[in-house]
Structure formats: structure tokens, C-alpha cells
Amino acid sequence: MRYWLVKTEPEEFSYEDLERDKMVEWTGVRNYQARNFLKEMKRGDKVLFYHSGKERAVVGLSKVEKEFYIDPTDTTDKWVSVDLIPVQKFVNHITLDYFKSSDVLNTSYLVRQSRLSVMPLDEKQFSLILESGNIG
DNA sequence: GCCAACGTTGGC
DNA sequence: GCCAACGTTGGC
């Protein structure tokens, strides 16, 4: 089991939208590093939902329902998508500031590589986030 | 609204 | 293959 974090602008697609829709095809990733991480995702892996922009916080937990396949919005057959389903909404949102203030979390891609939109987390980071989010 | 940190494109 | 110009993301 591996742990991941995906970014989304809530005005475009939020965790609430995922709960409403029950499933999302994670399309539109056009960055090689992010794509390679999408390809490593296995069914059942946990995926944190991060709202970028004004919120800048982890707000929910999802999991991989379907492993990677060719992104249907891509005409070059080069990019991939996965399907995600909702698991649980966070009671406490875990902010970017909290990531920065934590010795465990400030080494994460979220802090160190701010433009990456799909990234792995290690188990220690993941469990701290769940614990702090009060859904552990 | 600005800009740093990228990534991409295209001329040479 | 290099690099200038441009575009995008996302934090501040």
C-alpha cells in the first residue's frame, strides 16, 4: 500500500464534488513526473485531496478505484488517468502552513516542489496527516 | 496582482 | 543541442 496526494483547484473540482459524484476520472495531468506517479498507483492506495489556491489544505481522503489507463481527454495517447472514489472528509483541514511547520511534513514534495500536482507521501507523513485531520 | 519556479516551444 | 521567449502553476 502506498500513499499519495493530488492537488485540485476547488473551483474546478473539489472534494465535495467527488462525494457528490461518487467517482472521478483523474484526467488532465500533463507533466511527466506527475504522470509517472499516476502509473505507480495501485487499486486501494490512499490518495489525499489537496485544495490549492485560496484554501491550501488537505481536505479529504480518497482511494484508487481503477489503475492507470490512457487519458480519454488526450489525443496523443501519451498521458494517463486513474479513477478515484471518496473515503472520508477531514474534520480538521491540514494546511500548507502546518506542513511547513512540521519536521515530518516539510520534507514532502508539497513543500519542496510546489508545482507538482501528483506526489507520493511516506507512511509516517500519511499517518500524521490522518491523525491531525482527526480521521485516523 | 505579482512573481518564482518551473516546463515547453521554436529559432538558430 | 542550446537558449530565449513564452506559458502555467500556485504561493504570497
DSSP string, A51-118: ETTTT-EEEEEEEEEEEEEE-TT-SSS--EEEEEEEEEEEEEEEEHHHHHH-TTTTTSHHHH-TT-SE
Measured CA A32 to C1' B11 distance, in angstroms: 25
Integer Cα distance of A135 and A91 in angstroms:
7
Taking only the tens place, the pLDDT of each residue in A36-90 is: 999 999 999 999 999 999 999 999 999 999 999 999 988 788 899 999 999 999 9
Name the β-bridge partners of A8. Answer: A51
Q: Is the CB of A104 under 7 A from strand C?
A: no
Q: Is the CB of A52 under 7 A from strand C?
A: yes
pTM for this predicted structure: 0.94
Question: What does the pLDDT read at residue A94?
Answer: 96
Q: Is the CB of A56 under 7 A from strand C?
A: yes
Question: What does the pLDDT read at residue A136?
Answer: 57
